[in-house]
Structure 1
Amino acid sequence: MSTPETEQATRDIADVAAVEVITAAAVHLMSAAAVKCGLAEDAAEQDHLDLDEARKLITALAALVTASASDIGTVHARSLRDGLRSLQLAFREASVIPDAPGEGPGEEYTGSVVPTASGSVTV
């Protein structure tokens, strides 16, 4: 049985464009991954670093961004890809045991983010 609050929430979400829902989900994944990578202001003091959790969040973000890029448009996709790449690099920097190129979190969707000696990125 639905309540008036449930009906209102359903009407509210029906008014939100898919692009907004996708980007909001991506921002939530990004924020959580940043904290788990130790990028929050007080992450070290608060013991928020959790690379196992960060890996899962970054991989989910990479899948979402890759799968939705053509639907959300170039501007949104570019911003999300930039944030994703920053998180992937932060993860690599925080890792004591580095993943092989192409095997870091989300890299099965994005390709490797490891720069080569020439400065390009391997794929």
Structure 2
Amino acid sequence: MCGMSETPPEHTESSENPDFDAMARDIAEVPAVEVIVTVAVNLMSAAAVKLGLTEEGEEHKDLDEARKLVHALAGLLDASATEISSFHAAPLRDGLKSLQLAFREASLVPDGPGQGPGEKYTGAVYG
């Protein structure tokens, strides 16, 4: 049979079909605090890109996307506040505030006090 693989596709490992069992074993070894902090840092990084705060600047700037990411970050930090130590939480809160201020500065029509991304969780953010 021309063009047919002898190995059935469901048994072939590829980047399209990750080994979920191995991923589950790997994640099982990671403490919850590390997972939360990693997700928070990823949200921060993505928000910074969407706010145009990277070297590429305006190329990837999208304030609608940034708003969603900052809001999600604020919700995560609010929900996990009692679960992670202040050692982890303090720098994440500082980063969140910086992103909220950057969003306010980048907006052509600024949100009212308490209406910016994540301010539902943090309260109004002022410079």
Query: Could you tell me which of 39, 54, 67 is aligned with 2:53?
Result: 39
2:25 is paired with a residue whose SS is helix
Give the letter aligned to residue 15 of structure 1. E
Structure 1 position 42, deviation (Å): 1.5
Partner of 1:14: 28
Matches within 5 A, 1:19-98: 19-44=33-58, 47-98=59-110
Long gaps (5+) in structure 1: 116-123
List 4+ stretches of structure 1 deviating above 3 A.
none
**Looking at CA atoms only, which structure, 1 or 2, has the larger radius of gyration?**
2
- Aligned residue for 1:88, secondary structure, equals helix
In the alignment, structure 1 residue 110 sits paired with structure 2 residue 122: yes
Distance in 1 between residues matched to 2:75 and 2:34, nearest whole Å: 17
Residue type matched to 2:124 in 1? Answer: S
Q: Deviations over 1:59-98 (max 9, x none)?
A: 0000000110110111111111000000000000100001
TM-score of the two chains, using structure 2 as the length reference: 0.83
Q: CA RMSD in A?
A: 1.9
The structure whose residues are more often helix, as a share, is 1
| 3-state SS of 2:111 partner | coil
TM-score (norm 1): 0.86
Q: Secondary structure of 1:105's match? A: coil
